[in-house]
Chains A and B, each alone.
Chain A
Amino acid sequence: MSELVKNEAAQNMVTLTIDDHTMSVPEGTLVVDAARSIGLDIPVFCYHPKMEPVGMCRMCLVEIGTPMRDRTTSEPILEDDGSPKIQFFPNLMTGCTFRASEGMVVRGYTEKVTAARKEVLEFLLTSHPLDCPTCDKGGECPLQNLTMQFGDGESRFIYDEKMHSAKHVALGDLIFLDRERCIQCARCTRFQDEIVDDQVIGFSNRGRALEIVTFSDPGFDSYWSGNTTDICPVGALTTADFRFGARPWEMNASASICNHCAVGCNLTFNTRREVKSGGEKIIKRVMPRQNEAVNEIWICDKGRFAYHFTASDQRLNQPLIRKDGKLVPSSWELALDLVTSRFKNAGENLVTLAGGRLSNEDLFNLAELSAHLGGDALLYSDMAGGDLVSRLGVGEGTNFSDMGPETAILVVACNLEEEAPLWWLRIKQAAERGAKVIVANPRKTKLDRSAIHNLRYEYGQEAGLVTALLSAISPKQPKSPAFVNKLAKDKEVKAAAKALSEAENTVILFGSEGTSYAASAALAQACANLLIASGHIGRPNNGLIGVWDKGNAQGAWDMGLRPSEDLDAALKTSQAVYISAADPAGDSKQYASALKKADFVVVQELYMTATAELADVVLPAQAFTEREGTYTSGERRVQRFYPAVPSLPDLLPDFGITAEIAGRLGLELEKTAPASVMLQIAEVVPDYAELTYQKLAKVEKQFPLIGREDVYYGGTSYQNSQGLGVQLKPAAQNGDSPVLVITELPEVKLSGEELLAVPVTRLLDLGNTVTPSEVLVTRLAKPHVALHPQDAEKLGVEWGSKVKLILNGSTQTVLVEFDNSMPHGVVLVPRSLGIPIISPTPATIKVL
């Protein structure tokens, strides 16, 4: 990586001069980066600060000279005036490949240099269609901008002799290629290769006929494809979503945070008023917003394309009350009064169930209301350990980009690219810098490619595996089950344990591949034990991270909500249930029937979910794109999001609705200003004590410089001007010294001929906020399960065929995929594809 290194003291600094500016940079800094760091332009096309230089486009040619030295004495040779004599290379050199050395002199504006720029631009334009007026990139196009700045006004190339190529090539369902506009800079292919390790696009042919092709099935098969449209320096790559959608200058930009997973990528929503939407402002596209400590300048395709739910015409727009068995429209007053009276009656028998996509402010108010009545505030999640993360989470100042050989990273029970794509990316890059990555999972995942140790275990043994690592480090543990002792003797396990314990820094990420709530609790505790025993807590780049299933699950834990160990029973026995941003009935028939048994159900939602269908009162809420709030990421970074579009007139934010109910119950909660809710949070939740909205909005200079004037350099990602957020200190960093807690390891038992169905996560699932995005439809996973090919053979099932899956009392037709890295006797069942699975459970497969 060519990034200017932050820790300048540790680097050997050199002084160089670029066009009369003398500056000091770490030795080895590329000339273009040095220039960029003080705002000087050396134009580039193929160079991108996040990728290795290739020096292909030749746009960055400059004059470069170095101090002459006497051959025999190696003393510097001086000019008559005593200044060092500089010897310039006879040819122009590429600034993107040349590294700064002491005394170097760079000339970026001589006649020779400006002529070369003009010539290279002229060459590029000979093949370019010059269709700027109809090009999506117009207005944020490096080629257009640099031509205006350095190019010639007229063309000497005969237009008729231009090579014509295909203009609307669908590289996949999400990305279109205009072959005529492509300038062969290879940024997209290098991104796919170097950065995300999906070599699904490449160059074919050669010379002037060089063109981008894809041969993956489906085309451009990668979760990262949208990023190539940001870094494409021309309008060759566009998204199927935004193509012909708007001109960049017509749009507003508002800062936001992605809430699809626990990473918390910083986003910018581009919005515009449209006739189509009755003159209302709508979201036109999602762009990454730079935060070098979170997502750098990248986002995954889910974050980029799964935003259409805001504008969905299925949105709830008024309160509903059940009358004669039917939900009918109601006024807010009526609905709220009804809710209030029933909640009052329920008292401590009120069960509050909230989803992890709510903001901290929403969750805080929910928790306060629940506490006021003495009821239970539950988080709708099957993952445990958020309390451990609050105590032992990664220390303030943690940044994957800083991790290298001194750091070990354990990722357990997790398919990281599917569960938290950006963390996969950043851990992969840490591995490339030398970090020791250990992946423990029952089957292969993409992160295996970056790992020095791949540890396999049986589903259900995840906590055991981590305990085995612990006993390999400190053998004086209480007696463990036999399988743990066996694992502890494994050579790979031992080597991994050594790497983890000996590393200066260790981070552990635990996910939810194949786990139940109980298994997750045991796993989180085992991970915590391992970190405590090896002393890797309470410091930056050390500690525990939960790879949560929802964007603000950690915030929910911090606000005091907890998953229920037996949600079914909790629902059944309640007198009133208050559900917000969760759809248990949609996930499981069991929950649905439990809800049917509940006395009174209130659902606060965006849509008519299966759960809302069962409600007595439905309260319509604003989407996060329509209001303000904060989320807490898995790394416990609290970040602000801002309203991007106005909400429908009759909707309230979740915390506002809750405050309305609370007010009627005699509890004063903030209902309009989320900043004020944050002030209350700061009073009640110790870790949040220092937080204010102002602090969360602070920014500092990021490298590489990204932004609107720099589109030629970093791409069209947005600069961060509205807040980098604040990373919380875990209790361990505040002097808390935790001790090991040895818990019993859960076991999963199977009977007879059955298979064990285990839940796994797919990024592009059929979640409520995903499916309204039409562009994504073909990319979403279809209801399917995965089997080991040998098991499939035994069952007589072929790849791609349909089978009957019987589990949890329901029967469903699903497609079959194979995975030859998974254990035998298991069937993998992805969550959120409409197949009811919450915990590992026995299942039967029948051939159709």
Chain B
Amino acid sequence: MTALQDKHEKEIKHILAKYPTDEKRSAVMPLLYIAQRKAGYVTKQDMLEIAELLSISTTEVASIVGFYTLYHDKSGGKYRIQVCNDLPCALRGSGQFLEELCENLGVQVGETSSDGILSVEAVMCLAACDKAPMFQVQSHSDISYHENQTVESALQTIEKWRAEETDK
């Protein structure tokens, strides 16, 4: 049994049960989400274990990680702040929102803060165009939406996480 399996046995079993027994490869994406929970990115060891679990090659697992934007193979901020700056949001001022947010946080788009707590990314449409400006946060454990934002409200939320993290 692999380490991943050891730690999340029930959950993995539950996931595998969703797919026909000879199509367990389908579980690769859900399993990658589990692996990513640990450190916010997928390690080579995770890929190896997932490959073994699903009887596919490590290269095939790595390909998946490379193709989909929500998987990461390098560490980033503990909170990845992903601001939608796609056309509909941009028409409602998300460009300026993003700029000011970065200025206030002292972090450039695509970069991680020096304390490693957050990174800011500009992303494509998140299906919340009527509630721009908005961002989603990809943390180690989940993804949540924050809509109808102002720079102030965003900063408040972010400061709350920062405080929680430094308390730890």
Please indicate whether A and B come from the same complex rather than being unrelated chains.
yes
Task: Give the contacting residue for A201; candidates B59, B61, B65, B66; CB below 8 A.
Answer: B59
Interface centre among A201, A205, A206, A215 (most CB of B within 10 A): A215
Q: Which residues of B are found within 8 Å of A217, using beta-carbon distances?
A: 58
Task: Give the contacting residue for B57; candidates A200, A204, A205, A206; CB below 8 A.
Answer: A200
B residues with CB within 8 A of A? 44, 47, 56-63, 65-67
A200 to B61, CA, bound (A): 11
A214 to B47, CA, bound (A): 12
Once the chains bind, are A216 and B63 in contact (CB under 8 Å)?
A: no
Once the chains bind, are B44 and A213 in contact (CB under 8 Å)?
A: no
Closest B residue to A213 by CB, please name it. Answer: B62
User: With A203-B67, A216-B59 given, can you name 13 additional A-B contacts, CB distance below 8 Å?
Assistant: A198-B57, A200-B59, A203-B63, A203-B66, A204-B62, A204-B66, A205-B66, A213-B59, A213-B66, A215-B57, A215-B59, A215-B62, A216-B57
How far in angstroms is the closest Cβ of chain A from B36?
A: 17
A214 to B62, CA, bound (A): 8
18 contacts between A and B (CB under 8 A): A198-B57, A200-B57, A202-B62, A203-B63, A203-B66, A203-B67, A204-B63, A204-B65, A204-B66, A204-B67, A205-B66, A206-B67, A213-B66, A214-B59, A215-B44, A215-B47, A215-B61, A217-B58
Cβ of A145 within 8 Å of any chain B Cβ, yes or no, is no
A206 to B69, CA, bound (A): 10
How far in angstroms is the closest Cβ of chain B from A271?
A: 36
Interface centre among B47, B59, B60, B62 (most CB of A within 10 A): B59
Interface centre among B56, B61, B63, B65 (most CB of A within 10 A): B63
How far in angstroms is the closest Cβ of chain B from A636?
A: 37
Cβ of A199 within 8 Å of any chain B Cβ, yes or no, is yes
Interface string of A189-226 (1 = CB under 8 A from B): 00000000011111111100000011111000000000
A residues with CB within 8 A of B? 198-206, 213-217
Closest 5 CB pairs of A and B: A204-B66, A202-B63, A199-B57, A215-B59, A215-B58
Q: Which residues of A are found within 8 Å of B58, using beta-carbon distances?
A: 215-217
How far in angstroms is the closest Cβ of chain B from A446?
A: 13
A198 to B58, CA, bound (A): 11
Q: Which residues of A are found within 8 Å of B65, using beta-carbon distances?
A: 204
Q: Which residues of A are found within 8 Å of B60, using beta-carbon distances?
A: 199, 202
A213 to B61, CA, bound (A): 11
Beyond A215-B44, A215-B47, is A199–B59 a contact (Cβ under 8 Å)? yes
Q: Which residues of A are found within 8 Å of B56, using beta-carbon distances?
A: 199
Q: Which residues of A are found within 8 Å of B59, using beta-carbon distances?
A: 199-202, 213-216
How far in angstroms is the closest Cβ of chain A from B80?
A: 18
Q: Which residues of B are found within 8 Å of A202, using beta-carbon distances?
A: 57, 59-60, 62-63
Q: Which residues of A are found within 8 Å of B47, using beta-carbon distances?
A: 215
A202 to B51, CA, bound (A): 14
How far in angstroms is the closest Cβ of chain A from B8?
A: 22
A199 to B55, CA, bound (A): 11
Closest A residue to B56 by CB, please name it. Answer: A199
Q: Which residues of B are found within 8 Å of A199, using beta-carbon distances?
A: 56-57, 59-60
How far in angstroms is the closest Cβ of chain B from A211?
A: 8
Q: Which residues of B are found within 8 Å of A216, using beta-carbon distances?
A: 57-59
Q: State the main secondary structure of chain B at its contact with A.
A: helix
Q: Which residues of A are found within 8 Å of B62, using beta-carbon distances?
A: 202, 204, 213, 215
Q: Which residues of B are found within 8 Å of A214, using beta-carbon distances?
A: 59
A205 to B69, CA, bound (A): 9
A203 to B62, CA, bound (A): 9
Q: Which residues of A are found within 8 Å of B66, using beta-carbon distances?
A: 203-206, 213
Closest B residue to A209 by CB, please name it. Answer: B66
Once the chains bind, are B63 and A213 in contact (CB under 8 Å)?
A: yes
How far in angstroms is the closest Cβ of chain A from B56?
A: 7
How far in angstroms is the closest Cβ of chain A from B46?
A: 12
A214 to B66, CA, bound (A): 12
A217 to B62, CA, bound (A): 13
A456 to B56, CA, bound (A): 24
Q: Which residues of A are found within 8 Å of B61, using beta-carbon distances?
A: 215
How far in angstroms is the closest Cβ of chain B from A417?
A: 16
A203 to B67, CA, bound (A): 8
A329 to B157, CA, bound (A): 89
Q: Which residues of A are found within 8 Å of B67, using beta-carbon distances?
A: 203-206
A213 to B44, CA, bound (A): 13
Closest A residue to B44 by CB, please name it. Answer: A215
Closest A residue to B66 by CB, please name it. Answer: A204
A242 to B60, CA, bound (A): 29
Closest A residue to B69 by CB, please name it. Answer: A206
A200 to B59, CA, bound (A): 6
Closest B residue to A198 by CB, please name it. Answer: B57
A209 to B110, CA, bound (A): 17
A213 to B59, CA, bound (A): 7
Q: Which residues of B are found within 8 Å of A198, using beta-carbon distances?
A: 57
A140 to B56, CA, bound (A): 35
Closest A residue to B67 by CB, please name it. Answer: A206
How far in angstroms is the closest Cβ of chain A from B84?
A: 19
Closest B residue to A220 by CB, please name it. Answer: B59
How far in angstroms is the closest Cβ of chain A from B10?
A: 25
Q: Which residues of B are found within 8 Å of A203, using beta-carbon distances?
A: 63, 66-67
How far in angstroms is the closest Cβ of chain A from B110?
A: 15
How far in angstroms is the closest Cβ of chain B from A282?
A: 36
A200 to B60, CA, bound (A): 8
A217 to B66, CA, bound (A): 18
A787 to B63, CA, bound (A): 33
Closest A residue to B68 by CB, please name it. Answer: A206
Closest B residue to A200 by CB, please name it. Answer: B59
How far in angstroms is the closest Cβ of chain A from B50?
A: 11
How far in angstroms is the closest Cβ of chain A from B48?
A: 8
How far in angstroms is the closest Cβ of chain B from A763?
A: 20
A3 to B66, CA, bound (A): 35
Q: Which residues of B are found within 8 Å of A215, using beta-carbon distances?
A: 44, 47, 57-59, 61-62
Q: Which residues of B are found within 8 Å of A200, using beta-carbon distances?
A: 57, 59
Closest B residue to A201 by CB, please name it. Answer: B59
Closest B residue to A206 by CB, please name it. Answer: B67
A215 to B67, CA, bound (A): 15
Interface centre among A204, A205, A206, A214 (most CB of B within 10 A): A204
A203 to B60, CA, bound (A): 8
How far in angstroms is the closest Cβ of chain B from A818?
A: 14
A215 to B60, CA, bound (A): 8
How far in angstroms is the closest Cβ of chain A from B41?
A: 15
Interface centre among A198, A202, A217 (most CB of B within 10 A): A202
Closest B residue to A203 by CB, please name it. Answer: B63
Closest A residue to B61 by CB, please name it. Answer: A215
How far in angstroms is the closest Cβ of chain B from A452?
A: 15
How far in angstroms is the closest Cβ of chain A from B137?
A: 24
How far in angstroms is the closest Cβ of chain A from B39?
A: 18
Interface centre among B56, B57, B60 (most CB of A within 10 A): B57
A198 to B57, CA, bound (A): 8
How far in angstroms is the closest Cβ of chain B from A340?
A: 60
A199 to B58, CA, bound (A): 9
Closest A residue to B58 by CB, please name it. Answer: A215
Q: Which residues of B are found within 8 Å of A201, using beta-carbon distances?
A: 59
A205 to B68, CA, bound (A): 8
A213 to B47, CA, bound (A): 14
A206 to B67, CA, bound (A): 6
Q: Which residues of A are found within 8 Å of B57, using beta-carbon distances?
A: 198-200, 202, 215-216
A382 to B61, CA, bound (A): 43
Closest A residue to B57 by CB, please name it. Answer: A199
A206 to B56, CA, bound (A): 21
How far in angstroms is the closest Cβ of chain B from A215?
A: 4
A609 to B112, CA, bound (A): 62
Q: Which residues of B are found within 8 Å of A204, using beta-carbon distances?
A: 62-63, 65-67
How far in angstroms is the closest Cβ of chain B from A253?
A: 34
How far in angstroms is the closest Cβ of chain B from A194?
A: 14
A552 to B3, CA, bound (A): 49
Closest B residue to A219 by CB, please name it. Answer: B59
A203 to B65, CA, bound (A): 10
